[in-house]
């Protein structure tokens, strides 16, 4: 079989030989690479279902509870670029193994946390080790699939890990919390981590940059100072609106980002390798692909944010039933991703990516018709369209980003793609979540009296106005007439919020689709 040598090794091992066409070993390697992706995606969604139990058991204050949720994506996004560069230097497989071992070990610590601060620290550590996983996975995939047609198919299969994890998170969470304590949502990570640790050394090749030179520690610090405050600012604005804190966070992120770009431009002139090769962004294909990647995650996380609440609190479905409604969307992502590998041989990126974003926009249009009396079928169809659009678009864009990067910089290129994913996910929750919350608060009508002659307390009234979940909790302590009135108004207000939010999501998807078309109009 013909072999293609990607780069000379930096160790005493024999040269890495990658077959021009992937065989059984490479496809087995893909199966192993799928597992960390699934693990991280499930971890992103399953925690939400455990928060009520965590609140009852650990009794964290509101700020600590917020950090339990937010610290993971904050650390993850801040370290992705640095970890991508580290994998290029020390070896992508080595970094993957360190990351999965740490992820499994810290999951044990999280499961048995004794207070809120302990759990915040564990979630931060999960973000640290999670940042090692995703750039390594994509970089190894780029290395072992030299044939571009096979690589597109492999990317399609890999990408389903995100959709599968997002859909399985509610199902897994619902099942575990029905039978076990909240720590079980973290313990489920451990056997998967052990499986990867056993299988990865058997089927994954090691690869690294041939002559890495001195590490760019300044670039590492600047990349963290650019990404982490940006994510934190988005969270802050999404939950509290613009404030002095969010402006400072954005200013730090902007200044660090500008210095990081300048450093990446200057270092090659001094004979050193920067953390990211900015020549990668000289291609308009890469630029629009990164934008499209962020947008697909924006759409997916936005859907999951309102769909879970709508199905459970408006339509009265259980967590397990709500998760099952979203499963067809996961299947659509898989099928569309597999189809994208074949379609890419006949149609260009400038046609396929806007088509995928358009499909997702069509799904969001259906979501504008959701109401209190709607059947779950309408949301199921919407999830299928959104899933199909995401599967089609991200398979093509990930391939474009990886193909544009030299093999020895695959880790850095993968980190760029993954950072776009994380920023898109944060924006999806922050932007669409803020729109939904604003509409809900403006539309909900809270009864003045809990009972004839008995005023509803200010604290209870404020709780009901903040979220639909809060209204449900308040209604549980009210007599039937007042409870029915509050629940009816809250559900109508939330359904209206979903309609408006879906309209904003539709506009965002169509705007990016148009940007892709215009950005590649001469190609």
The model's confidence at residue 210, banded by pLDDT at 50, 70 and 90, is: low
pLDDT at residue 125 in the model: 93
Q: Which of 301, 278, 263 has the alpha carbon at shortest distance from 433? A: 301
- Residue 511 predicted with pLDDT over 90: yes
In 310-348, which ranges are continuous DSSP H helix?
319-343
Buried b vs exposed e over 341-366: b needs ≥16 C-beta within 10 Å? bebbeeeebbebbbbbbbbbbbbbbb
CB 473 within 8 A of CB 495: no
State residue 13's pLDDT score. Answer: 38
Buried b (16+ CB within 10 A) or exposed e, 493-511: bbbbbbbbbbebbbebbbe
Kindly tell me if the per-residue pLDDT of 231 is higher than 60.
yes
Cα(306)–Cα(311) distance, rounded to whole angstroms? Answer: 9
For the whole prediction, is pTM greater than 0.85? no
CB atoms within 10 A of CB 90: 18
pLDDT digits (tens, 9 = 90+) for 330-381: 888 888 888 887 888 888 888 999 999 999 999 999 999 988 887 788 999 9
Residue 451 has pLDDT above 70, yes or no: no
What is the pLDDT, as a whole number, of residue 12? 35
- Tokens representing residue 106 in the block: 């810290």
């Amino acid at each position: 079989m013909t072999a293609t040598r990607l780069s000379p090794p930096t160790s005493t091992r024999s040269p890495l030989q990658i077959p021009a066409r992937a065989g059984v070993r490479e496809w087995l390697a893909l199966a192993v690479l799928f597992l960390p992706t699934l693990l991280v995606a499930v971890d992103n969604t399953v925690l939400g279902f455990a928060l009520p139990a965590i609140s009852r058991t650990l009794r964290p204050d509101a700020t600590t509870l917020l950090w339990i949720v937010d610290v993971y994506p904050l650390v993850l996004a801040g370290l992705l670029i640095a970890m991508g560069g580290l994998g290029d230097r020390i070896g992508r497989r080595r970094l993957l193994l360190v990351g999965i071992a740490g992820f499994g070990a810290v999951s044990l610590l999280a499961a048995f946390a004794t207070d809120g601060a302990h759990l915040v620290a564990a979630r931060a550590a999960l973000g640290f080790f999670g940042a090692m996983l995703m750039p390594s996975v994509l970089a190894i995939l780029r290395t072992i699939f030299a044939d571009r047609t096979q690589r597109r198919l492999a990317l399609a299969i890999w990408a389903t890990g995100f959709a599968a994890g997002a859909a399985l998170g509610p199902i897994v969470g619902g099942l575990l919390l029905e039978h076990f304590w909240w720590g079980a949502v973290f313990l489920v990570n451990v056997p998967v981590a052990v499986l990867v640790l056993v299988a990865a050394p058997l089927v994954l090749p090691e690869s690294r940059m041939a002559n890495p030179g001195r590490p760019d520690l300044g670039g590492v610090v600047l990349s963290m100072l650019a990404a982490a405050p940006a994510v934190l600012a988005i969270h802050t604005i999404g939950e509290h609106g613009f404030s002095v804190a969010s402006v400072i966070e954005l200013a730090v992120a902007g200044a660090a980002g500008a210095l990081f770009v300048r450093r990446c431009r200057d270092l090659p002139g001094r004979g050193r390798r920067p953390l990211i090769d900015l020549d990668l962004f000289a291609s308009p294909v890469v630029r629009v692909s990164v934008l499209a990647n962020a947008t697909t995650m924006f759409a997916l996380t936005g859907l999951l944010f309102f769909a879970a609440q709508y199905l459970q609190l408006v339509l009265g479905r259980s967590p397990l039933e709500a998760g099952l409604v979203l499963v067809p969307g996961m299947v659509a992502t898989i099928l569309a991703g597999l189809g994208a590998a074949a379609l890419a041989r006949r149609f260009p990126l400038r046609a396929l990516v806007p088509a995928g974003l358009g499909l997702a926009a069509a799904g969001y249009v259906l979501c504008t018709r959701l109401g209190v009396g709607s059947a779950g079928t309408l949301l199921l169809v919407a999830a299928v369209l959104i899933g199909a659009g995401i599967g089609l678009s991200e398979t093509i864009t990930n391939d474009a980003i990886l193909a544009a990067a030299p093999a020895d910089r695959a880790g850095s290129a993968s980190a760029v793609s993954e950072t776009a994913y994380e920023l898109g996910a944060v924006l999806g929750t922050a932007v669409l979540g803020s729109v939904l919350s604003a509409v809900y608060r403006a539309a909900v009508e809270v009864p003045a009296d809990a009972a004839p002659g008995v005023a509803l307390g200010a604290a209870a009234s404020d709780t009901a106005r903040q979220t639909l979940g809060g209204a449900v909790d308040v209604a549980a302590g009210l007599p039937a007439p007042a409870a029915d009135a509050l629940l009816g108004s809250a559900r109508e207000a939330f359904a209206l919020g979903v309609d408006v939010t879906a309209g904003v999501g539709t506009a965002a998807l169509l705007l990016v689709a148009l940007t892709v078309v215009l950005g590649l109009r001469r190609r």
